[in-house]
Amino acid sequence: LQPSLPQLALDQVDGRVAGRRTAKGYSGEIRRLAVTTADGIAVPSADVSLGVVTTGQRAVGEFRADRLDLAVLAGLADHFPLPEALRDKLRSFAPRGRLTDLNLVWGGRIEAPERWQIKGAFADLALAARHELPGFSGISGRLEGNEKSGQVHLASRNATLDLPAVFSEPTLALANLEAEIGWRAKAGATDILLQRMVFVNADAKGEATGNYRYTGAGLGDIDLSAKLTDAAGNAVWRYMPLVVNKDARDWLRTSIVGGRADSASLRLKGPLAQFPFRDGKGGIFQVKGSFRGATLEYATGWPGITDIDGELLFEGVRMLIRGQRAAIMGVGLTEVRAEIADLEMPEELLVVTGRARGETQRFLDFIEASPVGRRIDHFTETIAATGNGELDLKLVMPLRK
């Protein structure tokens, strides 16, 4: 189709192709066209039509298709005379999925139409993540709208979201995703309206509402509220954004073991360029919830705090785990707190405090089981005690050392 392009060799072509050029434009249609290329690309039978009318530097056009396979079309891109920038994007984003009952109408300047209208359905839609742009797969639903406003309805199973610019474990698997998402363009800004989203994955069930505004500069503004139920305690680390230092994320990954959160909530509001809103300035970032049955392995070699029922709070750059009930080596604990005051600090400090009441012998056992036993040459190992007592626990530890 161009001297510089590879030959498009076809094994089989079935269907009808028609085209017409007029003084003001051109039109064409494909009826029940099915193609198989020599290198194995199979284009399923489809009905497609295109009509364009031009007046000077302006044009009005309409494109219709009863079905399109994006992966197949992207695979054929190297054979067609497309702008090189578009060809590069198709390779990078690797689009996949099926579009059905697609109708696209546009009008305005040829190089940048001012008006457009779209309607159609999609199934198993997928795009690869690229730079800061997220990727996804398995997204199904339908959309309808124009340059001013519109609506997307999602009803997806076994979908994934790929967010490499946000999370260290970028791929989030979603067994179920349903959402109503709208858009609205006004006064140079575009608002994305999350009217309802319900999702289920291996870590939690949840729902969310909110909106995102983008003006064409910066990262935009967000106002998001979400609720989680039946969330896994040991999955907390997976949802900590990359803005949180790696040491703190690694500590969360290894230290919170088991447990379930009956309810948790997320509140995120403000310009994303200022996230996570240190000292509450410029916006809100808060994750909080109650949990039960968790274990806190706060430091290597120290006896873990078990059977914790309490609360978890992330607010700005602060993390706080507070336990109403817990145990350590079989002794009941109260007033348990594990806190990192600054998750962005180059030398993150973890402070663990608690108060134990129980058999004094258990306190000696705690000393022996901890690194303190080795440092004092285990001289408490042979000491026996009777009666009850109280133990105040306070550990201040830099996570990097």
pTM for the full model? 0.78
Judge whether 224 and 248 are in contact, CB under 8 Å. no
CB atoms within 10 A of CB 261: 23
Whole-number Å distance between alpha carbons of 88 and 52: 26
Which residue pairs from 76-84 have beta carbons closer than 8 angstroms and sit at least 24 positions apart in sequence? 76/8, 76/37, 76/41, 76/43, 78/5, 78/6, 79/1, 79/5, 79/6, 79/7, 79/8, 80/1, 80/5, 81/1, 81/2, 81/5
**Residue 101: what pLDDT?**
96
Judge whether 201 and 226 are in contact, CB under 8 Å. no
In sequence order, which residues have a C-beta less than 8 Å from that of residue 374 and are 6 or more positions away?
none
**Residue 143: what pLDDT?**
95
Whole-number Å distance between alpha carbons of 165 and 163: 6
What is the residue-averaged pLDDT of the chain?
89
Residue 132 — pLDDT band, cuts 50, 70, 90? low
Whole-number Å distance between alpha carbons of 368 and 248: 28
Q: Is the bond into 276 cis (omega within 30 degrees of 0)? A: yes
Once rounded to an integer, what is the mean pLDDT over residues 83-108?
91
Residue 130 — pLDDT band, cuts 50, 70, 90? confident
- Find the range with the poorest average confidence among 194-208, 275-289, 314-328, 377-391: 275-289
Residue 138 — pLDDT band, cuts 50, 70, 90? very high
Tokens 């996804």 belong to residue: 136
For residue 167, pLDDT beyond 80: no
For residue 127, pLDDT beyond 80: yes
pLDDT digits (tens, 9 = 90+) for 26-74: 899 999 999 999 988 999 899 999 999 988 888 999 999 999 999 998 9
pLDDT digits (tens, 9 = 90+) for 224-274: 998 988 888 778 777 777 777 788 788 888 888 888 888 888 888 998 888
The pLDDT > 70 percentage for the chain reads 100
For residue 123, pLDDT beyond 70: yes
